[in-house]
Amino acid sequence: MNFFQYRNGRLYAEEVPVSEIASAYGTPLYIYSARTLHRHFRAYDEAFDGVPHIICFALKANSSSALLRSLAKQGCGADVVSGGEIFRALKAKIPSGKIVYAGVGKTEEEIRYALRSRILMFNVESENELFEIDRIAGSMKTKAPIALRVNPDIDPGTHPYISTGLRKHKFGIPLEDAFEYYKAARKLRNTEVVGIHKHIGSQITRLSPFVDALKRTLSLIDELCVSGAEIRYLDIGGGLGITYKDEEPPVPHDLAESLLPMLKGRRLTIIVEPGRSIAGNAGILITKVLYMKAGKEKDFVIVDAGMNDLIRPSFYGAYHHIQPVEKRKRRNILADVVGPICESGDFLAKEREIPAVRQGEYLAVMSAGAYGFSMSSNYNSRPRAAEVLVSGKDFTLIRRRETYSDLTRGDIVPPSV
Ligand code: LLP
């Protein structure tokens, strides 16, 4: 079931015509479907039903407070990578006991905040960091629950910028060194080893990288078990892909089906950290056509959303389907859909065949719910977009459009200038 569908040529978000929402709040505008979000969360929750598990939504994909609050109500946990994300997760009432914290560059301030908040575990990415966490926990007279993030050296077959589990990447601890690191960790006085973590990349469209990575991780768990270490949490990371164009990625049920048999008889709580596969297809970006410009080789559709609103096409050459909000009988044109930013790299689509649109019409950029708003910026001093959540017939503003004064809010002009 797709909750963004045409009815009589009008694009709907659940039960509401998208054009109605866009007229009410203006563009560029992110619109999310609550039903889609919940369905995606439940798909994970049900898939791993057979084993103790926590689904920790990766906040980096979308950290909207309203979305997080509604996921929290469903029982969702959080995968965070910064103090700011811990703050957002707690504010959305995600229980601290369901928060896992990864990232190669945790600062002392962030580590203290995480310890004070009593998160479930730190996913530690280096030996240096391990000692630092132990030192800080000691100074706070507490114990830090930790997992080591192992790097299983698996090629997930995805875009180089979003694959993370190869030896050449900055993430995690090489699998072959992990045993020694665990040994060291167990000797630390202010650290408690509770788990193991891996995450090999994002937008993965095959099961085999997950299976291979888990196999390698399980051998390490066995080795650790023999040595007397108790691993309670196995965090398998996120990374399941979604359909942007014609990909046919496995769904959470397929993932669980291929992994759970390998986990039989083990007393482990499984943690999964999906981001994109929960939020990606739960959101769209609506933009208005400002101008049409006929070029010599192709046309340009100039819209009011730019790379500051959605950077994925510029940054990764990512494909996002673009479709009119109101379907009309029009011929197709070959066009670049570009934003107002002063960069040639500012485009939402390149040489795309789309129906000839006209000034003032709305376009929907699909699959924009993950790594859309969360990666947006104020570049070119553009206020960031508004966000709306749709649930059935209701829609509500969940983030107001930024104003010009938001842009200068943090600026300081010293009297001396
Ligand atoms: N866990 C860890 C430790 C991660 O680093 C990530 C994503 C996730 C979970 C969630 O992965 P997902 O289920 O969303 O694939 N900005 C890029 C994606 C970067 C992903 C970074 N890490 C994009 O727009 O494609």
pLDDT tens profile 7-22: 999 999 999 999 999 9
> How far, in Å, from the CA of 201 to the mean position of ligand 1?
7
State if residue 199 touches ligand 1 by the CB under 6 angstroms criterion: yes
**What are the tens digits of pLDDT across the range 120-155?**
999 999 999 999 999 999 999 999 999 999 998 888
Assess whether the C-beta atom of 238 lies below 6 angstroms from ligand 1.
Answer: yes
Q: Is the CB of 239 under 6 A from ligand 1?
A: yes
Smallest CA separation from ligand 1 atom 23, residue: 371
Q: What's the whole-number mean pLDDT along residues 354-374?
A: 97
Task: Please list the residues that pair with 58 across neighbouring strands.
Answer: 79
Which of 106, 276, 315, 365 maximizes ligand 1 atoms within 8 Å of its Cβ, making it the mutation to test the pocket?
A: 276
pLDDT (tens digit, 9 = 90+) per residue, 192-232?
999 999 999 999 999 999 999 999 999 999 999 999 888 99
Q: Is 220 exposed, middle or buried (0-12, 13-18, 19+ CB in 10 A)?
A: buried
Which tokens sit at 41? Answer: 């969360």
Domains in the chain and their CATH numbers? 4-32+280-407 (2.40.37.10), 95-274 (3.20.20.10)
Specify the residue for token string 């979604």: 242
pLDDT of residue 221: 96
Residue-wise pLDDT tens digits, 296-337: 889 999 999 999 999 999 999 999 999 999 999 999 999 999
Amino acid at residue number 83: G
C-alpha 158/C-alpha 203 separation (Å) is 6
Average pLDDT, the chain: 96
**pLDDT number for residue 270:** 98
What is the spatial distance between Cα 232 and Cα 209, in angstroms, rounded to a whole number? 23
Percentage, residues of the chain above pLDDT 90? 92
Q: Which of 133-147, 160-174, 244-258, 262-276 has the lowest mean pLDDT?
A: 160-174
73 pLDDT more than 80: yes
Helix (H), strand (E) counts: the chain: 12, 21
Cα gap 63→85, rounded to integer Å? 8
Residue count of the chain: 417
**pLDDT confidence of residue 1:** 75
CA angle 394, 400, 404 (to 5 degrees): 155
Mutate to test the pocket of ligand 1, among 67, 198, 273, 319 (most ligand atoms within 8 A of CB): 273
Query: d(Cα 48, Cα 377) in Å, to the nearest integer?
Result: 36
Judge whether 143 and 191 are in contact, CB under 8 Å. Answer: yes
Question: Looking at the predicted structure, is the pLDDT value of residue 276 above 90?
Answer: yes
Rounded to whole angstroms, how far apart are CA atoms 273 and 251?
A: 14
Atom of ligand 1 nearest to the CA of 280: 14
Contact call for residues 182 and 192 (beta carbons, < 8 A) = no
Decide if 342 is catalytic: yes
Q: Give me the phi and psi of 146, to 5 degrees please.
A: -130, 155
In this prediction, residue 295 has a pLDDT band, given cuts at 50, 70 and 90, of: confident
User: Which atom number of ligand 1 is nearest to the Cα of residue 273?
Assistant: 9
Question: Is the Cβ atom of 275 under 6 angstroms away from ligand 1?
Answer: yes
CB 385 within 8 A of CB 369: no
User: In testing the pocket of ligand 1, which one of 60, 240, 270, 311 has its CB within 8 Å of the most ligand atoms?
Assistant: 60
CA distance 123 to 382: 36
**pLDDT exceeds cutoff 80 at 90:** yes
Closest atom of ligand 1 to 371 CA is: 24
